[in-house]
Structure 1
Amino acid sequence: MSGIYQHHWQGDPDRPALALHCMLASAGYWGPIAKRLDGRVGLKAFDMPGHGRSGDWTPDPDGPDFHTTVTRIAASFIDRPLDLIGHSMGATVALRIAVAAPDAIRSLTLIEPVLFAAAPDRQQASRDTQVASLYEQGRETEATRAFIDAWGAQPFDDLPPQAQHQMQRRIGLVANNVPPLSHDSANILRDGGLEAIDAPVMLISGENSPPVIHAIADALAGRLPDVGRATVPGAGHMLPLTHADEVAGLIGVNLDRA
């Protein structure tokens, strides 16, 4: 895992956990969640390639796409059953791992998984097209603004200039993720896949998130054998940052279920 920056919050050594962050962020935002879990798990996380302190990621026509790359990195952290937590794109990676290796999962907490293929949505398809088109035209600022204004904790223009610059540098990764998220090129939704996950699953959504998020949760919940659902009042897509108390409490509930 050369060039991948790792985070580790000490906790119960017999209860390993792995948390996967969203696009255009870094794993550091799990720190407040780990603090609130108060050592119940030994929580690890990593900055995805091109994010935080990790090295850059450059697409290779003959190599794996970004989603597959992150999935392989995440899988390398698993040497025994663990509690797997993911947010947004990270939640789709967590779900991909759980479908491929259900025996490796002790519990699965999915915070706003953006697996758009589970609930095709015209508005989301328009967002995909807009971001990809702006990026292909070399209009990185406009592409980043369109993405962050839909999914960020605050409008793009309200962010510090350094944060804006960092996100603009990474916006190409968002465009690269359209096939796995919107077209399920990773085949996460294959017949029998979700149904094979026998670990307890918790689906967490923000009350004010885009409607497609709630439709995705509906679709996934209908196929998962052991699933709980929760909606955090007043929260949007970035609820691990904005509503850490509630998110940590709900993660704890799912840890208890396992």
Structure 2
Amino acid sequence: MTLTIPELTRWRIDGAEVAYTDSGGDGAPLLLIHAAGSADWFTPLAALPVLKGYRVIRMVRAGYTGAPAPDGLSIADHAGHGAALLRHLGAAPAHVLAHSSGTTIAMQLTFDHPDLVRTLMLSEPPLVDSLVAPEDLEAIHAMLGPAIGAAMAATARGDLPAAFEVFMAAVCGPSFREVMTSALGADLVAAAEDSSRYLFTGEIPAINGWSLGRPAAARLRQRVLLIQGSASPPPFHRLVAHLAGLIPGATVATIDGGNHLYPFTAPEQLAGLITVFCGPA
């Protein structure tokens, strides 16, 4: 499959480079914040005609543009980049959709800049200590700890392909490469692998330094939709249920047959949830 991808616009903020595509128009803004491992998690979604009434802004985060990211970027820093981008584009308040690690940025954006966020859609937040259901914490450490350790070791010795392989297989399953290649094409998958250093040197430390407590979650006043795949491992489902109990009024939707890769395998289903939850563009 070959996607027609709009050219990225590059923009600098606070010493960091971010990039974006912007469909333009006067529809309701929809900001897409991608997950770890690739800038193109939402590229298939952004191309769907069903979203053409929205002003779709696909953000490429610092560390994923090809330019070096400043050392020590925090989740709050990334959230600040998103806020600055929305203001720069005159695109607030926006519906905000984020997947996996991107959901930590989306939540922080909403905490820090509530006036910029109209609704918040959190798609399978990551299996990290501050978000997982307490009963899963030990099992998650046992499941993901060795893989992340191996990825970090591979990065330290300069073997990014090995680091990318072990991390993505642990988080997304052993068929991740075939799924991504089918959705994006081999060139974009190779580019994600080649540029994955920031994931291991910057993004994982930033996420490990971020936390969500019950008081912070209770401050969310926007409508919140939590999204999960029906075929995702049970810890994802328990994480979503746990967050639904922390966030006032949050609702849950399920992508039938989807796992953590559903932005690639089921973008049409995801778009359908967006249009129902966000309403007319």
- Class of the TM-score when normalised by the shorter of the 2 chains: 0.7 to 0.9
Greater shift, 30-39 or 229-238, is seen at 30-39
1:75 to 83, 87, 104: 83
Q: Where in structure 1 are there 5+ consecutive unaligned residues? A: none
Name the residue aligned to 1:178: 204
- In structure 2, how many angstroms separate the alpha carbons of the residues matched to 1:27 and 1:141? 18
- In structure 2, how many angstroms separate the alpha carbons of the residues matched to 1:213 and 1:247? 17
Equivalences for 1:118-137 in 2 at 5 Å? 118-119=131-132, 120=137, 121-122=140-141, 123-137=143-157
Any conservation in 2 of the 1:132–1:143 contact (CA below 8 Å)?
yes
Greater shift, 239-248 or 39-48, is seen at 39-48
Deviations along 1:127-184, one digit per CA (max 9) or x if unpaired, are 3222222222333222111122234584447857644542333332222322333x3x
Residues 248, 135 of structure 1: alpha-carbon distance in 2 compared, 3 angstrom cutoff: same
Name the residue aligned to 2:262: 239
1:193 to 193, 213, 216: 216
Three-state SS of the structure 2 residue aligned to 1:253 is: helix
Q: CA deviation at 1:6?
A: 1.8
Any conservation in 2 of the 1:203–1:228 contact (CA below 8 Å)?
yes
Any conservation in 2 of the 1:116–1:216 contact (CA below 8 Å)?
no
Q: Percent identity?
A: 22
Matched, 1:95 2:103: no
- In structure 1, how many angstroms separate the alpha carbons of the residues matched to 2:54 and 2:60? 19
Name the residue aligned to 1:110: 122
- In structure 1, how many angstroms separate the alpha carbons of the residues matched to 2:44 and 2:163? 29
Q: Please give the root-mean-square deviation of Cα atoms over the aligned residues, in Å.
A: 2.8
Any conservation in 1 of the 2:35–2:102 contact (CA below 8 Å)?
yes
Any conservation in 1 of the 2:39–2:192 contact (CA below 8 Å)?
no
- In structure 2, how many angstroms separate the alpha carbons of the residues matched to 1:91 and 1:162? 26
Any conservation in 1 of the 2:29–2:94 contact (CA below 8 Å)?
yes
Any conservation in 2 of the 1:20–1:85 contact (CA below 8 Å)?
yes
Three-state SS of the structure 1 residue aligned to 2:195 is: helix
Letter in 1 for 2:221: D
Letter in 1 for 2:230: E
Greater shift, 240-249 or 152-161, is seen at 152-161
- In structure 2, how many angstroms separate the alpha carbons of the residues matched to 1:97 and 1:142? 32
Name the residue aligned to 1:208: 231
2:61 to 48, 55, 64: 48
Q: CA deviation at 1:109?
A: 0.7
Deviations along 1:14-63, one digit per CA (max 9) or x if unpaired, are x2221111223225834534534443421212222343xx3422452xxx
Letter in 1 for 2:210: A
Name the residue aligned to 1:147: 167
What is the TM-score when the length of structure 2 is the normalising length?
A: 0.76
